[in-house]
Amino acid sequence: MIKKELHTFFTSPIGYLVIGLFIIINGLFLFVFKTDFNILNAGFADLNSFFFLTPWVFLFLIPAITMRSFSDEIHIGTIEILKTKPISNWQITLGKYFGALILISIALIPTLIYVYSVYKLGNPVGNIDFASTIGSYIGLLFLASAFIAIGLFTSTLAKNQIVAFLTAVFISFLIYYGFEFIATSTTSKNIFIQKFGMYEHFQNLSRGLIDTRDIIYFVSITIFFLVVTRMRVEQI
């Protein structure tokens, strides 16, 4: 099932488009556009801009990848054929999940050139916080994992891919930054509410602190949405 998903991604423009857009968007903001994200204009060499920007790119890019996962199958009727094959609903769900996760992982690999660039731009050369960088990449993978699970779930809710896309963006935004916004919108920060959001846990990992509580949080979100996705597949 994973091979089928990867075959779908890379025998059509989808996979190449996703990787290309991801690299181009980040490259433009980090090195071309004269914004606060531009590394060359920042006056110091770090990847904070990249790790701040990428979750927001994922917020739209990942739902665009997953929106057709089940909605397209439901719309054209191939989901019924898929379910008659000797594979379980879990295998169908996990196949689509790992296919999308591998695609995002491949898209992240070329960004390692940003790490090399910052390494060389540092004064002195090599002045880069590797613990924070590694933690941030781990955080991005966990974040992508959760967004993919959410996207797969929303793609089971509607035949229309646009509806699936918008629903995934809304739920992902709500869980990623909604709780952070609520927690910080009052005069005193509500730490309890803040811990419900992905933003807080991603920030913890970005500091290079690999805390099991943050990992358990992301794994729990991912498993929850994969479970409800499988339940939806069973009902279709």
Summarised one tens digit per residue, pLDDT across range 185-213 is: 776 667 788 889 999 999 999 988 888 99
Say how far apart CA 164 and CA 186 lie, in whole Å: 32
pLDDT (0 to 100) of residue 188: 64
The answer, yes or no, to whether residue 42 has pLDDT greater than 70, is: no
Q: pTM of this prediction? A: 0.92
Domain that holds residue 47: 2-235
Say how far apart CA 189 and CA 13 lie, in whole Å: 45
Number of domains in the chain: 1
pLDDT (0 to 100) of residue 100: 94
pLDDT (0 to 100) of residue 171: 96
Terminal Cα distance for the chain, rounded: 18
CB 159 within 8 A of CB 71: yes
Could you identify the residue written with the tokens 């898209």? 107
- The length of the chain is 236
pLDDT tier for residue 48 given thresholds of 50, 70 and 90: confident
Say how far apart CA 171 and CA 224 lie, in whole Å: 13
SS3 87: coil
pLDDT (0 to 100) of residue 124: 75
pLDDT (0 to 100) of residue 68: 86
Q: Which one-letter amino acid corresponds to residue 125?
A: V
CB 226 within 8 A of CB 233: no
Say how far apart CA 64 and CA 162 lie, in whole Å: 9
* Rounded percentage of the chain residues whose pLDDT exceeds 90: 49
